[in-house]
Amino acid sequence: MAASGKSAAGRSYRRSFMFKGVYTAIVTPFTKDNKIDEKVLRKLIDIQIENKISGIVPVGTTGESPTLSHEEHHRVIEIVIDQVKGRVPVIAGTGSNSTDEAIELTAHAKKAGASASLQVAPYYNKPTDEGFLRHFTAIADAVDLPMIVYNIPGRTGKNIENHVMLHLANHKNIVGVKEASGNIGQVMDLIQARPGDFCVLSGDDNLAYAMMALGAEGVVSVASNLIPAEMMKLVNLIFAGKWDEALLLHYSLLPLFKAIFIETNPIPIKAALAMKGLLQEIYRLPMCPMVQANREKLGRVLKEMGII
């Protein structure tokens, strides 16, 4: 593939998007008595920043947000922002299937000093297109903070169609989307039609290269919990137009991308971090430890790649 500084959509990677690069969807470590392990969380943040990560995304699904109380949710965001100390952006996961709850969580994140919020599509209640528009607009109107919409129909049960996303992209506070539909056709159409500097970030590690080749600005990554330097190298090679080198790196990392989703996220990534000695492998129900056969498969991949 010829080296180029532009995306397939003809947009330069040097455009001034608010968010681009690798944003780690950070796990939430727990202690043996099922409390937030603040000491370990702070250590994980420092490891990310030492490896020059673009930003941190706390209390997303990878951070087991559905099982955190509101007080714990607030506290994780506060810990991350305090430990980051302005060194990288913090995009706080503050979405909900209740609009009022999402507004409350987002208002707290802004007060705590978050750079932006990540707003997942309302799950289980499956809004109509109009419901999506009203939900995200209400949050963006209520809290003056940059918002990234999160489209992941595999978890939420409903896709945010492009015509809805493009309408939302006209709001001054809605600056991008974490796209995890897995629908490359949808991604291409969105990138081609998006206005201004509305950024598109891959929500899947294994599609980061492909989506960036089509014009996306980066990835919200699970793998970067474990390999932040390698994920940064991947996107930086793409930003530099070194496509062949980036493709080789993508395929070298692909076994890990697959292994960390051998069971429901964040079970495998927390298991991998525990295997590396970075945290205790503790989950909140209904998340639970991996079955032995999958644990062995994950361990083999980590050893073959020299991660453990």
Helices (H), 113-242: 129-142, 153-156, 162-168, 184-193, 208-213, 228-239
> Is 150 considered catalytic here?
yes
- Distance CA(75)–CA(70), nearest Å, equals 9
- Distance CA(171)–CA(147), nearest Å, equals 10
Query: Would you give the DSSP letter of residue 66?
Result: G
Token representation of residue 125: 């209640």
Active-site residue among 13, 23, 123, 150? Answer: 150
Cβ count near 43 (within 10 Å): 15
Number of helices and strands (H, E) in the chain? 12, 8
Active-site residue among 20, 110, 178, 270? Answer: 178
Q: By the 8 A CB rule, do 177 and 151 touch?
A: yes
Q: By the 8 A CB rule, do 13 and 4 touch?
A: no
Ramachandran angles phi, psi of 105, nearest 5°: -65, -40
Helices (H), the chain: 38-50, 70-84, 99-112, 129-142, 153-156, 162-168, 184-193, 208-213, 228-239, 243-259, 267-275, 292-304
> Using CA atoms in the order 141, 166, 114, 112, what is the torsion angle rounded to 10 degrees?
20
- Distance CA(297)–CA(163), nearest Å, equals 41
Active site residues: 150, 178
